[in-house]
Amino acid sequence: MQDIRLRTGAAALLSFVAFTTLTGALLVFIWWLVFSHPLQVLKKIRGAVPAIILVAFFGLVLELTGGGGFSYTARMAVIILVGAWLYAEYRQGEFLGLGTWLGGKKAGFDCGMVAEMAIQSLDLMAADLTRIRHAQELKGGHWGVRSLVPAGSILIRGTLRRADETAELMAVRGYQRGGSCCPLFTTTRRDIIAGIAAVCITVIAFLPVSEFFILYH
């Protein structure tokens, strides 16, 4: 989907549906297979599969201890896939335009800028993590669970340092609030079809089966 407005709205709607009901999660998964280019998403967002595996582990523990783990795993896995699709489709500046379109040149611009900076931080953290892994491999070490804590500490410190530098730079340049942005959106036929399908999935997920047959007749 090229239109960030429809993409974000569909992602929010589908995530809500997937989280609410298991049937909704199944329908959302079908939507994801049809409209999201699954192989490209999983190839670009490599953290999606490990995240699903981690969720599946906690789901197994939940299933063994109290039940409901299968439903939890299925719903959360679909939400992760939707989030991965939204992140994979992102283009620089889209959320700044979306925020300005929704909230105007003051609050909307600020919210959009915060979203852009957050995504930029995620990209930089991913790049830092890749460099950490390469450095450890060059030293002859092995990447494992024990490496997560020190690597996480480095990533957090680096992110906080960059945030402090960015805030200082904005203050030096005299930024106070708001800004000018003229967002441009491109809406394709596929975007419209995917958006309509997301709305239909929402209706079907929350419509009782008996009501569906009544409407059919």
3-class SS string, 13-78 = HHHHHHHHCHHHHHHHHHHHHHHCCHHHHHHHCCCHHHHHHHHHHHHHHHHHHCCCHHHHHHHHHH
Residue type, 6: L
* Residue 178 pLDDT exceeds 90: no
Highest average pLDDT, of 116-130, 172-186, 188-202, comes from 188-202
- Could you give the CA distance from residue 69 to residue 62 in angstroms, rounded to a whole number? 5
Q: Where are the alpha helices (DSSP H) in 89-188?
A: 94-103, 109-138, 148-172
- Could you give the CA distance from residue 33 to residue 37 in angstroms, rounded to a whole number? 7
pLDDT in tens, 119-155: 888 888 888 888 888 888 888 777 776 777 888 888 8
The domain locations on the chain are 4-216
Mean pLDDT, the chain, whole residue set? 87
- Could you give the CA distance from residue 191 to residue 188 in angstroms, rounded to a whole number? 5
Mean pLDDT, residues 104-122 taken together: 89
Orientation of helix 4-20 relative to helix 69-88, angle to 10°: 170
* Residue 209 pLDDT exceeds 60: no
Residue type, 154: I
**Helix H or strand E segment including 202:** helix 189-206
% of the chain exceeding 70 in pLDDT: 94
pLDDT in tens, 58-105: 999 988 888 888 999 999 999 999 999 999 999 888 999 999 998 888
